[in-house]
Amino acid sequence: MGTISARKRQDGSSGYTAQILRKKGGKIVWREAKTFDKEREAKAWIRWREAELDRPGAIEQLSKSDSTLADAIDKYLAAKRTIGRTKEQCLRTIKTFPIAAKDSRAIRSVDIVAFADELLAGDRKPQTVGNYISHLAAIFRDAKAAWDIDLDYAEMQAAQRTLTRLEKTSKSEERTRRPTLGELDMLMQHFADRQIRTPHSAPMCKLIGFGIFSTRRQEEITRVLWTDLDEQHSRILVRDLKHPGQKKGNDVWCELVPEAMAIIKSMPRTHPEIFPYTGDAISAAFTRACQFLEINKEDTPDADRLVFHSLRHEGISRLFEMGRTIPLAASVSGHRTWNSLKRYTDIKEAGDKYAGWKWLDIVCK
């Protein structure tokens, strides 16, 4: 039972302090007190509070050490076997904001909306803010079940709905940018000249060509091994092919068109990987070249910028321009559904614009 003690205040009024004490094994496991102006209020609070504490697991829950959002992010990053580079960067950035220091039990939808406002105030676009909130939602979804950290997923869902209605978040714009032959000529000449000056640098001309004709993402290009090549059937095993519901073990055989096979055959067999380079280095070199050649200008919108991934879009669209059916195009790209492929059907011309392309013979040497 709780106890009530009356005390005179300096102004002459009485205060009634209600105290609740719980023991287990002779040790105090919970103690709390609250002061009221009236004795009946103190008695009512004791009855209500003791009923709360009598619920199974209530004392253990209250006695739990406080966990912050930052703690939950650390647990998530440590537990995830595979995590995208962008997602990891977003989560680590979130840890630098005030919301990360809050007690997990105290975070409500209003705090999440306020965090989104902070992101927007930092000149981030609604699409970017949407990515941050989506990555953060994964923490809220798993925290309670995985690590007994009290993040309320319902509060996150309420915040997401509100942010969408207020247009503070939005889906990322689909990139439809394709390089022109003129832009490719500039890039290929730039990297051909660089190869002469620095022979040991990554052969970007070959990587650009392979990116177009194989339709592979830069990370996939750097993971492909010589042992994954089936030269007889002109195909290659792409390991961990990107898939929204399966990050690991999604290994898919993808057809190699003749141009892609010719580029592979031109590579020396000095490493287990066919292209022993890092995705970051490939992307950075391509981006720097586009800036240097003024293909991308400072005021170019993100969706209109030419990036290495644009080569995949170019390669898949090329297949449709050449008259490939959906199943045949998918056999090269690795796509499983028409819905995923339809944005690549922005056919600009008929036939193969790379027929007789002067750089093909150069990159296959």
pLDDT tens-digit map of 193-245: 999 999 999 999 999 999 999 999 999 999 999 999 999 999 999 988 876 55
CA nearest neighbour of 332 among 268, 261, 264: 261
pLDDT for res 176: 77
pLDDT for res 245: 52
Q: Which pair of tokens denotes residue 51?
A: 């009923």
255: which strand partners? 235
pLDDT for res 346: 64
pLDDT for res 174: 67
Rg (CA), the chain: 30
pLDDT for res 32: 85
pLDDT for res 91: 94
Encode pLDDT of 80-89 as tens digits. Answer: 777 777 888 8
Inter-helix orientation angle 310-321/326-333, to 10°: 150
Type of residue at 37: D
Q: Report residues of the chain scoring pLDDT below 50.
A: none
pLDDT for res 233: 95
* Residue tagged 């009855």 (tokens): 47
Residue 304 phi, psi dihedral angles, 5° rounding: -100, 0
Residues 6+ apart with CB under 8 A from 165: none
Residues 332, 254 contacting (CB under 8 angstroms): yes
Within a 10 A sphere around the Cβ of 194, how many other Cβ atoms? 17
pLDDT for res 222: 94
Encode pLDDT of 28-43 as tens digits. Answer: 878 889 999 999 999 9
Residue 15 phi, psi dihedral angles, 5° rounding: -120, 145
Distances, alpha carbon 124 to alpha carbons 112, 161, 245, in Å: 16, 19, 27
